[in-house]
Chains A and B, each alone.
Chain A
Amino acid sequence: MDEYTLKIEHLSSGFFTERGYVPAVDDVSLTIGKGQVVGVVGESGCGKSMIARSVMGLLKYPGRITGGSIALAGRELTGLTDRQLQPIRGRDMAMIFQEPMTSLNPVVPVGRQMREALLLHEDMSRAAAREEVIRMLSHVGISEPEKRYNAYPHELSGGLRQRVMIAMAMICKPKLLIADEPTTALDVTIEAQILRLIRDLSRETGMSVLLISHNLGVIAQMCDKVYVMYAGRIVEQADALTLFDRCAHPYTRGLMDSVIRLDASPRRLPAIGGVVPNLLRLPAGCAFAPRCPHAGEKCRAERPELDQIGPGHWCRCFEGRRS
């Protein structure tokens, strides 16, 4: 048995488009221990959702994994056919999305959808499966689960749909839950409920969680370890306390600075100037150099490696060691 629930090594995946290869994920390595909650943070287009889809085997043409390995509890997933992945998806790993309506079937009552998912992977009677579904709905905090069992997705509020999707993902007790922006579409009071639910479930069952988010608040509240992504690559990784106490990469610094403080009224917000680079035309050196306040000649000419700068703390920056 491998010590890691998920071990990604040198993963590259991207899109083969008419205009060329788009390297959405470039040489990413990432590990998640049992019961650990690990975050990937970055802005739109940084490749964080591509990692999730690569792990789940959900890349659609023209997207493809081009290198590296993905091991789930010691079992290699790259190279498996869709048919071979099918029994693993849902049972050993499950995914929840920002918009629950994209993963719920609108014409089937939610309870039946969950029962089907359960019967696909477990050998049990329909009546027992129904019981288990109702128990799970109640477990994720849905009141009147017998009544909700027969409800269609559109009859539920956004928060309830999100709970149903989590219940469905949890029904086969997966080793790994991938949550891609699970609360971005929710109101702040509902967000707090859902985040607490995910963390409680992980603690109770020892389930590992890969949490993908653009929100540093959500990351800080949830994660044991954090990976920061920019333009397809990991630029910094550390345990949550280290990252929030002394981040080293200028991009991470920029993200931290743009978090608005609730106890102060500055006249202006610090902002990262410029825009995210086009992945088809990445600069020769560090991808962040055009926006970086500290960039020098070397940064524009050479690509920095991900270097260890402290215990469990890695940073991809020529200047990073100093800060």
Chain B
Amino acid sequence: MAEQILLEARGLVKEFPAKGRRKVHAVSDVDLTIRAGETLALVGESGCGKSTLGRTLIGLIPPTAGTVTFQGVDLTALSQRELAPYRRQMQLIFQDPYASLDPRMTVRDIVAEPLVTYGVCPDRAATTQRVRELLDAVGIPEEFLYRYPHQFSGGQRQRIGIARAIALRPRLIVCDEPVSALDVSVQSQILNLLKDLQERFALTYLFISHDLSVVRFMADRVAVMFLGRLCEIGGGADVYAHPLHPYTRFLLEAIPRADPRLRDDSRAILQGEIPSPIDPPAGCRFHTRCPYATDRCRTETPALRPLEDRLVACHRAEEL
């Protein structure tokens, strides 16, 4: 089966103005493709630009430069009005289930809102019926239809947010840290639900997370991001078994393993802090923390290039 490309970004740049004519380089020169039906995970530490990239890809934030093509149409060339029919095909699930639902609206109205906005159902009764079906799909009992968000637990609220996101039968859903605020036992329930819905409704996910374990479970492919640039893109199992970029390797090494026999005090830990995106390092942005950096890394930006079974942006990937 040929893998159909659903969304493609080319040379995507997003800069925000900062104090004194300076700029926050949130996303720099990103090329990325998302294939129909897959889960592509975007991983990286806080401030690396992964949420900005996710929002730019689905047109919530206009890019500074570059193009985003969705099903063959260049979204960046469209007006807000022309964008509307594509918008409904791209939805977002938020991290904080407490902040992302309007506390004054009932569950019925929250989930019905996108249906009403796009005039999907002929009348109120049909809308309510559709909301019932959506809530059933995410495991919220029908009798909770007229309750308010504060009457639900974090996990249940996240389910309501998911029902709202799938209401318009989108092609692509950007899941931005969807389980980070939840307890472990609830986290598993929500991840299983997301996988079930993907199968049932043929969804494509861009799954944004800083939690490498969660990403391992969800992702078909993984894109690792550091300070606005992509370091490595590859199949989930491949990247975890055999990371090629030094940053990916340190990230995976740092996960605290749930096995007291795997304590290793000699294990290399990445030193230093993440540099500021206002004044990112020249050359490879990771060079200030990378123990393998050479003069070339300090001056020349490594391109994302094919190596073995994936793409990697490191001058020294072969030798390391």
Contacts and interface: CB of A to CB of B under 8 A. Distances in A.
Interface of A: 43-44, 157-160, 187-193, 195-196, 199, 214-221, 223, 240-241, 244, 254-256, 258-263, 265-273, 275-276
A269 B192 contact: yes
B256 interface: yes
Given A157-B273, A192-B256, A260-B216, A270 B261 contact: no
A256 to B, nearest CB: 7
Nearest to B181: A44
Contact of B258 (A195, A196, A214, A244): A244
Nearest to A224: B260
Interface in B160-200: 183-189, 191-192, 195
A258 B256 contact: no
A240 B187 CA distance: 24
A220 B255 contact: no
Given A193-B270, A254-B185, 11 more contacts: A43-B183, A160-B273, A188-B251, A188-B255, A199-B265, A214-B183, A255-B185, A262-B212, A262-B216, A265-B236, A273-B189
A260 B213 contact: yes
Interface string B235-267: 011001100000000111111111111110100
A157 B275 CA distance: 10
A187 B257 CA distance: 15
Interface residues of B, number: 44
B155 interface: yes
B271 interface: yes
B213 A262 contact: yes
Contact of B256 (A158, A217, A256): A217
A189 B217 contact: no
Contacts of B184: 43, 214, 216, 255, 258-259
B153 interface: yes
Nearest to B211: A188
A220 B258 contact: yes
Chain A CB within 10 A, most for which of B184, B192, B236: B184
Contacts of A275: 153, 155, 186
B304 interface: no
B216 A240 contact: no
A187 B256 CA distance: 12
